[in-house]
Chain A
Amino acid sequence: AQSVTQLDSQVPVFEEAPVELRCNYSSSVSVYLFWYVQYPNQGLQLLLKYLSGSTLVESINGFEAEFNKSQTSFHLRKPSVHISDTAEYFCAVSVSGSARQLTFGSGTQLTVLP
């Protein structure tokens, strides 16, 4: 079975600083990888996804993530964060044969400080 580990439960960072949210997965078969974001008092929204092709994927609001197969990682980065990026971020994985279900990590709360 697949699993997802988000090592950091809380990441505080000052506005305009860079940030990296870490995600590692375990699976013996090919995976698809995702980052979802949950703003306060809202449901989750898809931020970006890796299905195939280029290992570097980007979102419309400046986040990027890189699929690293050898390190089984899919870390999320942003070079300069804004107050509005404060949210909880979930890494998720889907594997072949899983009926395209998502397995979520435990989440990382990103808090951007002024």
Chain B
Amino acid sequence: DADVTQTPRNRITKTGKRIMLECSQTKGHDRMYWYRQDPGLGLRLIYYSFDVKDINKGEISDGYSVSRQAQAKFSLSLESAIPNQTALYFCATSDIRDPYEQYFGPGTRLTVT
């Protein structure tokens, strides 16, 4: 089984809808991250969490919110989806003892029409 899982893997939604992307990990890591990947732009950090009570905004947090329900679960929400949020979304984790090696999930491809 994969160490970092994301659900759903693909989602098509309409403008204005609320949507939640979920991430679960079995690696026992404290740190979790949400990124979006756009062609030609690489990965940009949306939010990150160093533990259940510690949530931080990343480079592009506007229009997104997160919830760290447990050490192993980190959800990303789009309160009112818009077309320019169409992207590939990745969840990642890292261990406090080696914070630079991040372990990525397989990604969620989100399309907002």
Contacts and interface: CB of A to CB of B under 8 A. Distances in A.
Interface of A: 4, 6, 9, 32, 34, 41-46, 49, 51, 90, 94, 99-102, 104-107
B112 interface: no
Interface of B is mostly: strand
Contact of A100 (B92, B99, B106): B99
A44 B100 contact: no
Contacts of B99: 100
Interface string B85-108: 000001010000001111111110
Contacts, number: 51
B74 interface: no
Given A43-B4, A43-B90, A105 B42 contact: yes
9 closest Cβ pairs, A-B complex = A43-B104, A104-B42, A100-B99, A106-B42, A104-B43, A44-B104, A46-B101, A107-B42, A43-B105
